[in-house]
């Protein structure tokens, strides 16, 4: 089955905040996307060129590449409601 | 806070800037460049890097507002091929401009770790020692959490210092003469501040740069005019600065008229600034023409800068006084440049003149007339222009003759004289004198620094050969004030009595 969601999470180093963010993201994805997602976690400290390519400023930044439209979410994903709206999983 | 006296400077190689900055920007530090919209901040920021690349100092350009493609094309006109520098690894962009249609939603706590990582990566990749960030205000607008933005910018500035990078941060201002910036960035980049202004002064735009402060380092104070010229970018004109180490020549040169030479005690000095003031028609252009011809006859190269007459007029006039300008031009001894004063700002005229002098390398030059330029400028602008021009000319030991139109037919002093009275070495006045219903002409050397000179006002005539200076006026006083009064016989007696030596 093809993955419907393509997500990229940019973090700056493995810190408490970034670890928490990854945990938050996985829980949202398991709950809302029922496994139909592909997630890549990119550490900008190790791959600054990728951060440059996607014009990432803030960390953490989550980019929803698919399905369109492309969305950009900034922050540790602690505000779940906003995350769902931002990912087009919920209407305003 | 360090307590040292002198922070090392990094020469920017932006024309004129290093002079007013007493060496350049504080090395390894961040300097704030504040300016209103249109004040040329981005040009300056890009030029800082471009000038560095020419001397093998690589740079990183962080852009918060304009995408890198726009910056590349915007500066092409200055001859900066950013694209090829990027290919050569000398210039790197950190493009932090907003992605259209992709505004981010904030869903939690964040910092600018990625920006910092990208900046550090770009600096390491290029080995950059220079960095420009344009413009900080844009990032404050995009992220509502001002506290986070401030803190993170502080972190980046600290990292730049750690890496030994000399950085320029641009920020917007609203008013030309108000607060430093509209977002109060002074808390974290307070040490070094430069302000660019584009103020409206008497209906004219006037660009100035002011180094407000360099902590722990010397710099020139006050505002300095600059221009943005295609092909060069920002050119700061340190007009009144400080080439006080002007050596003074005591070598004499031919004024173009032998009698005038005599009145001056032997001719003009090699590096003198000579002002010729007179009402219209008194013979200023003639004197300028003879001055140039006199130089050519001695094998000198002469430059004529004309702002009132056309080339044809000048040549025709010269011929009427027995001088062959065309012949001199062909022999490479004369160059005539005619300009309408209105076509450019005084700063642009000054650059054009300086370029012409650098290229032609004259031994003497004549400007006819300064008053034509005075008409198209503000008082401040004009003053800076003539101070800048005369000191430039003097510094190169070029004898410069400048004609100035006196405001009234019979006398009075012009404004120009008051502007540069201290710089002028020689002042020659040409005046009409009314004598019993006749209009005669008078010439006097009012000032001749460093030499004895005649104090008498002599009559002169003009014919096809030129100017013929004759006897002094006798029995007339008040010529210079414009109220020539014939002294009666009694008066002459009385004056003689006063000065009798017993």
Residues of A in Cβ contact (< 8 Å) with B112 = 57-59
- In angstroms, what CA-CA distances link B283 with B49, B197, B407, B427? 51, 42, 15, 15
* Sole residue written with tokens 């004024």: B255
- Torsion region of B226: left, alpha or beta (phi above 0 gives left; psi -120 to 50 gives alpha): beta
Check if the beta carbon of residue B428 is closer than 8 Å to that of residue B261. Answer: no
- Percentages helix, strand, coil for chain B (3-state, rounded to 5) are 35, 25, 40
pLDDT of residue A3: 66
- Taken as a whole, chain A contains a residue count of 92
Residue B1 has pLDDT above 70, yes or no: no
Of the listed ranges B15-29, B101-115, B400-414, B443-457, the one predicted with least confidence: B400-414
Residue B119 has pLDDT above 50, yes or no: yes
Check if the beta carbon of residue B421 is closer than 8 Å to that of residue B277. Answer: no
Ordered strands of the B334-338 beta sheet: B334-338, B302-306, B364-368, B399-405, B273-278, B426-435, B438-448, B458-463, B466-472
Active site residue B347: no
Closest Cβ–Cβ partner in A45, A71, A77 for B117: A45
Task: Express each pLDDT in B243-272 by its tens digit.
Answer: 444 556 778 899 999 999 999 999 998 888
Q: Give the confidence band of B481 by pLDDT, cuts at 50, 70, 90.
A: low
- Chain B residue with CA closest to A81: the answer is B107
- Distance, in Å, from the CA atom of A7 to the CA atom of A41, rounded to the nearest integer, reads 9
* Sole residue written with tokens 């002093």: B413
* B182, two tokens: 């509209």
Collect all residues with Cβ–Cβ distance below 8 Å to B40 and sequence separation of at least 6: B196, B198, B207, B226, B228, B234
Chain B: which residues have CB within 8 Å of chain A? Answer: 94-97, 99, 101-118, 120-122, 139, 143
Is A12 in Cβ contact with B111 (below 8 Å)? yes
Check if the beta carbon of residue B331 is closer than 8 Å to that of residue B393. Answer: no
Is B109 in Cβ contact with A83 (below 8 Å)? no
- In angstroms, what CA-CA distances link B383 with A78, B21, B378, B387? 63, 22, 8, 6
* Mean residue pLDDT across chain B: 84
- Distance, in Å, from the CA atom of B122 to the CA atom of B90, rounded to the nearest integer, reads 10
Q: Is the link from the previous residue into B135 a cis peptide, with omega within 30 of 0?
A: yes
Residue in B120, B152, B300, B308 annotated catalytic: B308
Range B357-375 average pLDDT? 91
* B163, two tokens: 């890496």
- Distance, in Å, from the CA atom of B180 to the CA atom of B186, rounded to the nearest integer, reads 8
Alpha-carbon radius of gyration of chain A: 12
Task: Express each pLDDT in B187-237 by its tens digit.
Answer: 566 789 999 998 877 767 788 899 998 888 888 888 888 888 877 889 887
Is A58 in Cβ contact with B143 (below 8 Å)? yes
pLDDT of residue B397: 84
- Distance, in Å, from the CA atom of B110 to the CA atom of A74, rounded to the nearest integer, reads 7
- Torsion region of B294: left, alpha or beta (phi above 0 gives left; psi -120 to 50 gives alpha): alpha
Closest Cβ–Cβ partner in B102, B105, B112 for A82: B105
Active site residue B65: yes
Supply the DSSP string of B404-450, one letter for each residue.
Answer: EE-SSSS----HHHHHHTTT-SEEEEEEEEEETTEEEEEEEEEEETT
The candidate with the shortest Cα–Cα distance to B112, out of A75, A14, A67, A26, is A75
The candidate with the shortest Cα–Cα distance to B476, out of B405, B411, B418, is B411
The candidate with the shortest Cα–Cα distance to B139, out of B128, B126, B154, is B154
Of the listed ranges B61-65, B118-122, B196-200, B318-322, the one predicted with least confidence: B196-200
Is A75 in Cβ contact with B107 (below 8 Å)? yes
Of the listed ranges B5-9, B304-308, B361-365, the one predicted with least confidence: B5-9
Check if the beta carbon of residue B173 is closer than 8 Å to that of residue B38. Answer: no
- Torsion region of B305: left, alpha or beta (phi above 0 gives left; psi -120 to 50 gives alpha): beta
Residues of A in Cβ contact (< 8 Å) with B105 = 71-74, 82, 85-86
Supply the pTM of this predicted model: 0.66
Residue B499 has pLDDT above 60, yes or no: no
Residues of A in Cβ contact (< 8 Å) with B120 = 48
Most confident of B8-22, B233-247, B315-329: B315-329
Closest Cβ–Cβ partner in A11, A55, A72 for B96: A55
Q: Give the confidence band of B502 by pLDDT, cuts at 50, 70, 90.
A: very low
Please list the alpha-helical segments (H only) found in B134-244: 136-142, 146-162
């Amino acid at each position: 089955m093809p993955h419907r969601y393509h997500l990229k999470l940019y973090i700056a180093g493995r810190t408490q905040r970034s670890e928490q963010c990854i945990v938050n993201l996985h829980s949202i994805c398991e709950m809302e996307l029922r496994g139909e997602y592909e997630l890549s976690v990119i550490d900008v400290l190790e791959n600054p060129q990728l951060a440059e390519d996607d014009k990432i400023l803030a960390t953490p930044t989550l980019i929803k590449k698919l399905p369109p439209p492309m969305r950009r979410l900034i922050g540790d994903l602690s505000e779940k409601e906003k995350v769902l709206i931002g990912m087009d999983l919920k209407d305003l | 806070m360090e307590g040292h006296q002198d922070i090392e400077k990094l020469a920017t190689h932006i024309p004129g800037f290093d002079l007013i900055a007493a060496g350049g920007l504080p090395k390894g530090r961040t300097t704030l460049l504040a300016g209103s919209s249109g004040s040329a901040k981005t040009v300056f920021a890009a030029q800082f890097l471009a000038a560095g690349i020419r001397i093998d100092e690589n740079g990183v350009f962080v852009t918060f507002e304009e995408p890198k493609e726009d910056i590349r094309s915007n500066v092409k006109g200055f001859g900066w091929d950013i694209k090829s520098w990027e290919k050569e690894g000398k210039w790197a962009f950190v493009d932090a401009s907003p992605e259209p249609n992709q505004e981010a939603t904030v869903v939690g706590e964040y910092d600018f770790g990625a920006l910092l990582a990208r900046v550090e990566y770009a600096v390491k990749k290029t080995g950059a020692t220079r960095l420009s960030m344009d413009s900080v205000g844009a990032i404050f607008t995009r992220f509502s959490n001002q506290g986070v933005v401030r803190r993170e910018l502080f972190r980046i500035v600290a990292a730049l210092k750690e890496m030994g990078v000399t950085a320029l941060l641009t920020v917007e201002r609203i008013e030309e003469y108000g607060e430093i910036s509209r977002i109060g960035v002074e808390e974290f980049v307070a040490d070094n501040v430069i302000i660019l202004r584009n103020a409206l002064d008497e209906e004219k735009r006037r660009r100035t740069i002011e180094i407000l402060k360099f902590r722990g380092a010397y710099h020139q104070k006050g505002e300095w005019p600059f221009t943005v010229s295609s092909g060069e970018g920002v050119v700061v004109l340190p007009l009144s600065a400080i080439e006080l180490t002007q050596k003074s020549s005591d070598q004499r040169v031919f004024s173009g008229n032998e009698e005038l030479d005599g009145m001056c005690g032997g001719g003009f000095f090699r590096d003198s600034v000579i002002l010729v003031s007179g009402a219209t028609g008194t013979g200023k252009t003639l004197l300028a023409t003879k001055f140039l011809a006199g130089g050519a006859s001695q094998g000198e190269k002469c430059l004529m800068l004309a702002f009132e007459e056309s080339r044809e007029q000048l040549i025709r006039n010269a011929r009427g006084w027995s001088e062959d300008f065309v012949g001199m031009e062909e022999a490479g001894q004369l160059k005539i440049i005619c300009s309408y004063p209105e076509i450019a700002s005084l700063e642009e005229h000054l650059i054009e003149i300086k370029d012409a002098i650098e290229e032609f390398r004259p031994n003497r030059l004549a400007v006819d007339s300064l008053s034509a330029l005075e008409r198209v400028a503000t008082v401040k602008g004009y003053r800076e222009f003539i101070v800048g021009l005369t000191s430039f000319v003097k510094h190169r030991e070029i004898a410069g003759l400048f004609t100035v139109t006196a405001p009234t037919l019979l006398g009075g002093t012009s404004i120009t004289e008051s502007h540069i009275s201290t710089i002028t070495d020689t002042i020659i006045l040409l005046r009409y004198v009314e004598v019993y219903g006749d209009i005669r002409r008078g010439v006097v050397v009012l000032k001749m620094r460093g030499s004895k000179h005649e104090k008498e006002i002599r009559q002169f005539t003009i014919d096809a050969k030129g100017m013929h200076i004759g006897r002094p006026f006798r029995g007339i006083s008040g010529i210079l004030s414009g109220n020539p009064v014939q002294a009666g016989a009694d008066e002459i007696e009385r004056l003689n009595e006063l000065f009798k030596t017993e």
